[in-house]
Amino acid sequence: MRFVGGKIDALLGDYLKPIETNWQPADFLPDSAQDNFLEEVKLLRESVRELTYDYVAVLVGDTITEEALPTYESWLMDMEGVDQSNPQNWTRWIRSWTAEENRHGDLLNKFLYLSGRVNMRAMEVSTQYLIADGFDIGTGRDPYRNFVYTSFQELATNVSHRRTATLAKQAGCPQLSKICGVIASDEMRHAKAYKAFVKQIFEVDPSEMMLAFEDMMRKKIVMPAHFLRETGVKIGQTFSHFSDAAQRLGVYTTTDYIDILDDLLADWNIASISDLDDAAQRARDYLMALPARLRRIAERTKVPTLEYPFSWIA
Ligand SMILES: [Fe+2]
Ligand SMILES: [Fe+2]
């Protein structure tokens, strides 16, 4: 952590944008200080009419996932090797990353509020539950496992926001499409950062990094909102309905999960990393064979058709 952390200040400019010139939620929303605000809100509400039930449900789930940012920041701050009293180095990365991420939930939340399609109170209850329930992603305080997780997760959110952008455009909602698009591009930048951290760790500690990667993939990468719930619904059940809806829409599917794994294997040159001890070589073999194995399983899984009434949808 000291080795990679020492380079963080130099890397920051590659993976984060300056605050003054970065986009803000207000850039994509009707301006409530202007006289035409109500007119713009009316147009916004008309534009979302064609969005399907599953689409709105997925967008709400995505928003809640983004809104649980306090969990993610505090989790990362607690990693071994992070010293919160030093404002530079890892602390600087985590705080600046959080500051960028914070705009995602903010923007989506305001858009949904204006859309008139959502029961905001039910959604807010789910958000509060999710932050209160936290998560258990199987990384512990280990930065190696955490960076595998964040690399994977930023790519997964990139895919899902990119797909909701495309679907919004098809449904005649260019404003929402733009919103999902700018968020997706943030996620890609963040993915590049986390992947770069892992790549550097592979250079200096290949065996331990390989074992951490294997361990995370054996456990399966759970989504950060896996504890998602609604009033009167058991913990995790809402999440599985949300993920079914995402699968039905093609916003995030089992195939995407496998494609992301393929990406990571290629980006980190897993096939050609040398200097591995015996256990790490076995871990590498497991990882290299994993995409094909998951594809065989995926062929047999059906996309769930059951439609579930979410309390979030007005
Ligand atoms: Fe995000
Ligand atoms: Fe992200």
Q: Among residues of the chain, what percentage have pLDDT more than 90?
A: 91
Domain span at 60? 1-299
- Does 309 reside within a domain? no
Checking if the pLDDT of 80 tops 80, the result is yes
190 is annotated as contributing to ligand binding: yes
> Does residue 23 carry a catalytic annotation?
yes
> Does residue 226 carry a catalytic annotation?
no
Give ion ligand 2 contacts, CB < 5 A: 154, 187, 190
Q: State the maximum Cα–Cα separation within the chain, in Å, rounded to a whole number.
A: 69
- Does 306 reside within a domain? no
- Does 98 reside within a domain? yes
CATH of the domain at 290: 1.10.620.20
104 is annotated as contributing to ligand binding: yes
Q: Which of 74, 16, 23, 19 is nearest to 190 (CA)?
A: 16
> Does residue 241 carry a catalytic annotation?
no
Cα separation of 160 and 132, whole Å? 24
Q: Among residues of the chain, what percentage have pLDDT more than 70?
A: 100
> Does residue 161 carry a catalytic annotation?
no
Confidence label for 184 from pLDDT (cuts 50, 70 and 90): very high
80 is annotated as contributing to ligand binding: no
CA of 207 to the centre of ligand 1 (A): 31
Rounded average pLDDT over 179-201? 97
- Does 115 reside within a domain? yes
- Does 242 reside within a domain? yes
The total number of structural domains in the chain stands at 1
- Does 304 reside within a domain? no
- Does 97 reside within a domain? yes
CA of 179 to the centre of ligand 2 (A): 14
For residue range 20-74, what is the model confidence (pLDDT) as tens digits?
Answer: 999 999 999 999 999 999 999 999 999 999 999 999 999 999 999 999 999 999 9
DSSP string, 117-165: -B-HHHHHHHHHHHHHH----S-TT-HHHHHHHHHHHHHHHHHHHHHHH
Cα separation of 84 and 91, whole Å? 6
CA of 220 to the centre of ligand 1 (A): 21
User: What residues contact residue 221 under an 8 Å CB cut-off, 6+ apart?
Assistant: 137, 149, 152, 153, 156, 257
Q: Which of 9-13, 86-90, 109-113 has the highest mean pLDDT?
A: 109-113
- Does 310 reside within a domain? no
Specify the residue for token string 């029961």. 119
241 is annotated as contributing to ligand binding: no
The ligand whose atoms approach the alpha carbon of 192 most closely is 2
Is the CB of residue 263 less than 8 Å from the CB of residue 271? no
